[in-house]
């Protein structure tokens, strides 16, 4: 079976959950004996910047299907909308006639709804910046159109969680969106002996800094807890359009000695940062299925996360982590206090998470599930 995977972002040039999942799925499919090619940006792929990928990938894609003759073409995210249109237009003329699959990590209508102020009990904790507002009114509507196009043209539409599948069915007016959970493990990232690391014993956030990640909620929670826990610390890993606003909140709350911004860092450094952490904190108001949760669980690091999107489908409250209401300083404070007060229980939940990931969130499991969803529906496909 020849499978062509198309994605705008890939490690190591981009830090993206979408790109990481392409790597994971490709590894799993290759382990089953499939021939897999990945088409992205850069040498051998689409030229130009990320913004132009939906256009520049098309001529490269035409050349790729001519020489590779894939049985399955899978596009990731709405950036593959034009590719889906070309593939559907040419499908009848291609031999073999490929099956078109779309794997959508989020609904962009939900992304638009998530660009809003963060509030708790009427108190505004954070507001989106100009770049995020521009995304809401300029780029995101285009992504919605491309997402609609992709979903309507595909033979199969996949999503990383049941919740995301429901959102795509509702927002893109398609039916029978199937679930292909995100996984981890294809790239074994091991903590190194780095010395330039924060002193162990901190809470850890890893992700792109944007309003929907809910970091202001976390900062206000640290402010509330620091009298009870004078040594409480937070390490924030990642860059993004919202960083300057977060730094302003840190300054306003006088949290300079409690909060450290590490900035973007290579994926290979994240395990070392995890090794010194008490817990991974994911206070988002909207997600698809965040890869950082799976990576933390695989490292036996307990997770404290918002009860939103697909997160409860991975993190079980009381067993493999803590789930709290989004934008709730009270609930987040209780959970983080429990992490500090009962390190043995935190370790237990971390170990439970590791077992869950090892049992059900591996590239081999993703490939098996993908085969059931995609190949079983077209028995005539050559294998």
Exposed / middle / buried, residue 227 (Cβ in 10 Å: 0-12, 13-18, 19+):
exposed
pLDDT, mean of residues 84-95: 88
Q: Which long-range contacts (CB under 8 A, 24 or more apart) does 297-300 make?
A: 297/321, 297/350, 297/353, 297/354, 297/356, 297/357, 297/361, 298/184, 298/185, 298/353, 298/354, 298/357, 298/358, 298/361, 299/271, 299/274, 299/275, 299/354, 300/347, 300/350, 300/351, 300/353, 300/354
For the whole model, what pTM was predicted? 0.92
Domain borders along the chain are 2-183+362-375, 202-360
Residues 221 and 333: their CA atoms lie apart, in Å, by 6
Query: Measuring CA to CA, which residue among 291, 286, 375, 288 is closest to residue 104?
Result: 288
Contacts of residue 367, Cβ cutoff 8 Å, sequence gap at least 6: 25, 28, 29, 31, 32, 34
What pLDDT does residue 14 have? 62
Say yes or no to pLDDT of 243 above 80. Answer: yes
Give the count of beta carbons closer than 10 Å to the beta carbon of residue 285. 18
Q: Which long-range contacts (CB under 8 A, 24 or more apart) does 135-138 make?
A: 136/112
What pLDDT does residue 95 have? 85
User: For 2-183+362-375, CATH number?
Assistant: 3.40.50.2000
The tokens of 122 are what? 């009427």
Are domains 2-183+362-375 and 202-360 of this chain identical in fold?
yes
The tokens of 309 are what? 């999107």
* Phi and psi angles of residue 147, each rounded to the nearest 5 degrees, phi first: -65, -45
- What CATH superfamily is the domain 202-360? Glycogen Phosphorylase B; (3.40.50.2000)
Share of residues in the chain with pLDDT > 90 (%): 78
* DSSP secondary structure letter of residue 51: G
Say yes or no to pLDDT of 111 above 70. Answer: yes
- Parallel, antiparallel, or unpaired for β 2-6 and 35-39? parallel
Say yes or no to pLDDT of 383 above 50. Answer: no
pLDDT in tens, 281-339: 999 999 988 899 999 999 999 999 999 999 999 999 999 999 999 999 999 999 999 99
pLDDT in tens, 208-222: 999 999 999 999 999
């Amino acid at each position: 079976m020849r499978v062509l995977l198309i994605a705008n972002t890939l490690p190591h040039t981009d830090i993206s959950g979408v790109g990481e999942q392409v790597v994971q799925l490709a590894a799993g499919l290759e382990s089953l004996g499939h021939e897999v090619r990945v088409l992205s940006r850069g040498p051998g792929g689409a030229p130009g910047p990320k913004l132009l990928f939906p256009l520049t990938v098309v001529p490269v894609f035409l050349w790729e299907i001519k020489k590779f003759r894939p049985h399955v073409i899978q596009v990731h995210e709405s950036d593959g909308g034009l590719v889906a249109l070309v593939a559907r237009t040419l499908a009848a003329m291609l031999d073999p006639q490929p099956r078109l699959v779309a794997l959508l990590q989020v609904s962009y209508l939900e992304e638009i709804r998530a660009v809003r102020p963060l509030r708790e009990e009427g108190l505004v904790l954070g507001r989106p910046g100009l770049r995020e507002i521009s995304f809401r009114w300029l780029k995101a509507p285009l992504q919605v159109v491309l997402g609609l196009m992709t979903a309507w043209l595909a033979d199969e539409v996949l999503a990383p969680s049941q919740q995301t599948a429901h959102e795509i069915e509702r927002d893109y007016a398609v039916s029978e969106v199937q679930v292909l959970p995100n996984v981890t493990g294809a790239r074994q990232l091991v903590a190194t002996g780095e010395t330039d690391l924060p002193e162990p014993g901190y809470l850890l956030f890893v992700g792109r800094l944007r309003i929907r990640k809910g970091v202001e909620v976390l900062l206000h929670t640290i402010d509330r807890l620091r009298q009870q826990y004078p040594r409480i610390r937070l390490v924030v890993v990642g860059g993004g359009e919202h960083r300057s606003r977060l730094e302003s909140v840190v300054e306003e709350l006088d949290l300079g000695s409690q909060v450290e911004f590490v900035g973007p860092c290579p994926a290979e450094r994240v395990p070392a940062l995890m090794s010194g952490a008490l817990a991974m904190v994911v206070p988002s108001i909207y997600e698809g299925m965040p890869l950082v949760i799976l990576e933390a669980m695989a490292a036996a690091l307990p997770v404290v996360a918002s009860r939103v999107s697909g997160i409860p489908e991975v993190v079980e409250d009381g067993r493999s982590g803590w789930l709290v209401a989004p934008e709730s300083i009270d609930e987040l404070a209780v959970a983080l206090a429990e992490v500090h007060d009962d390190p043995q229980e935190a370790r237990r939940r971390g170990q439970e998470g590791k077992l869950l990931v090892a049992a059900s969130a591996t590239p081999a499991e993703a490939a098996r599930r993908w085969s059931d969803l995609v190949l079983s529906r077209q028995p005539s496909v050559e294998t």
